[in-house]
């Protein structure tokens, strides 16, 4: 099979990517995923001050910390997208993948930015689609995001898509092939995010090598899945829900290549040693009597059950105590510190086995929502590449 046939069978598409024009300060343009530091608004205050009036993805996205503070003006984000497109602040660089090299405190990790066919994905567990979900999806978090996507003219994804490549065939090949190729960006990410470079891949020879490796890995893993969700599960589910609504208004021919049928994401290897995996921690706030609450739940912080057992217990308790809220905190130390605040309880886990992700995928099962975190918050994906969805 040629690369186009293999990509189609795997649910992959070569995207037409948007990037800022030459001369843009990329360190101010690229901003961390909006779901990070939701309980730490001071982070986003520093980001806003640093960006100032410079072109930035901050102006096209809505950090959850701002949302929690009452900012629900989605329209101004769409207006900024349209303005940046019309005045040339951002523009298309043509079809191609982008090979990324990201230096972080945990080492150097590698990725490949591509588009994925939403027809090959279903956020419901047990699906026979090729792109697998790894955690339960909280549909209540998806509905408001769909409304935002309905207004948006482009997507700025922070989704990390996992390929199960134990021998690291794909990234090893790309490191070798792209080593001497020119970089389309090369800069330091703000607020301790490390350093990132990007290389555009647009040759048919490299397309074929990528397709061959991905198809080989797919076959070696049993031929039942091509990719699995890493970070950004709810963002990808949002794209899927929006597409399902939109395609009802399209003819079969229009559906084939409509831009909203696809979602941009970065492929990383599940076994990349520079990407640590940690259990996602839980923080309850608005708890009138923490000790009483723990007693009602039958829990002791010194001997917590598995996360898969804990979440249903928390859900039942929260249903009876609507004034209390739950936050999902990536860093255990941060969660533990926040848990010492009045009316708070921290549930912290410090170990996670990435092989369990592969086992879940193979068994066509899922973790409870927000089970694991990939890297520390500052190591998450920054909004950078974009793609038109209209």
Task: List, for residues 194-244, the tens digit of each pLDDT value.
Answer: 999 999 999 999 999 999 999 999 999 999 999 999 988 889 999 999 999
pLDDT of 356 = 85
Residue 187 near residue 196, CB atoms below 8 Å:
yes
pLDDT of 73 = 82
For the chain, strand residue ranges (E) read 12-13, 16-20, 31-32, 90-95, 97-104, 107-117, 131-132, 154-155, 160-163, 185-188, 195-201, 227-229, 262-269, 277-279, 281-285, 325-329, 345-347, 372-374, 382-383, 387-388
pLDDT of 6 = 98
Q: What is the pTM of this model?
A: 0.87
Q: Which residues of the chain have pLDDT under 50?
A: none
pLDDT of 308 = 87
pLDDT of 316 = 96
pLDDT of 168 = 97
Handedness of CA 372, 33, 237, 215 (dihedral sign): negative
């Amino acid at each position: 099979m040629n690369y186009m046939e293999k990509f189609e069978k795997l649910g992959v598409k070569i995207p037409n990517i948007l990037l800022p024009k030459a001369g843009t300060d990329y360190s101010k343009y690229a901003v961390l995923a909006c779901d990070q530091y939701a309980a730490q608004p001071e982070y986003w205050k520093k980001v806003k001050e640093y960006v100032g009036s410079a072109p930035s993805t901050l102006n096209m996205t809505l950090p959850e910390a701002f949302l929690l503070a009452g900012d629900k003006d989605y329209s101004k984000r769409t207006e900024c997208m349209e303005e940046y497109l019309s005045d040339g602040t951002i523009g298309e660089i043509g079809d191609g993948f982008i090979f990324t090299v990201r230096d972080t405190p945990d080492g150097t990790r590698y990725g490949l930015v591509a588009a994925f066919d939403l027809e090959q994905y279903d956020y419901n567990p047990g699906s026979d689609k090729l792109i697998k979900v790894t955690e339960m999806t909280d549909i209540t978090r998806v509905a408001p995001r769909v409304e935002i996507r309905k207004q948006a003219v482009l997507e700025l994804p922070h989704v990390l898509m996992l390929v199960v490549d134990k021998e690291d065939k794909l990234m090893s090949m790309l490191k070798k092939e792209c080593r001497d190729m020119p970089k389309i960006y090369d800069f330091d990410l703000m607020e301790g995010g490390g350093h990132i470079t990007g290389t555009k891949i647009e040759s048919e020879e490299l397309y074929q090598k990528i397709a061959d490796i991905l198809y080989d890995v797919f076959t070696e893993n049993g031929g039942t899945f091509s990719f699995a969700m890493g970070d950004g599960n709810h963002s990808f589910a949002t794209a899927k829900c929006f597409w399902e609504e939109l395609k009802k208004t399209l003819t079969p021919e229009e559906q084939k290549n409509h831009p909203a049928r696809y979602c941009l994401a970065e492929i990383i290897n599940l076994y990349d040693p520079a990407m640590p995996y940690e259990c996602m921690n839980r923080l309850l706030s608005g708890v009138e009597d923490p000790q009483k609450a723990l007693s009602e739940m039958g829990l002791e912080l010194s001997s917590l059950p598995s996360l898969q057992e804990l979440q249903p217990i928390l859900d039942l308790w929260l249903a009876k105590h609507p004034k209390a809220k739950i936050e999902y905190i990536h860093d255990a130390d941060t969660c533990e510190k926040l848990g010492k605040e009045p009316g708070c309880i921290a549930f912290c886990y410090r170990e996670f086995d990435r092989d369990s992700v592969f086992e879940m995928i193979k068994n066509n099962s899922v973790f409870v929502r927000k089970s694991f975190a990939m890297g520390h918050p500052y190591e998450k994906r920054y909004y950078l590449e974009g793609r038109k969805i209209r």
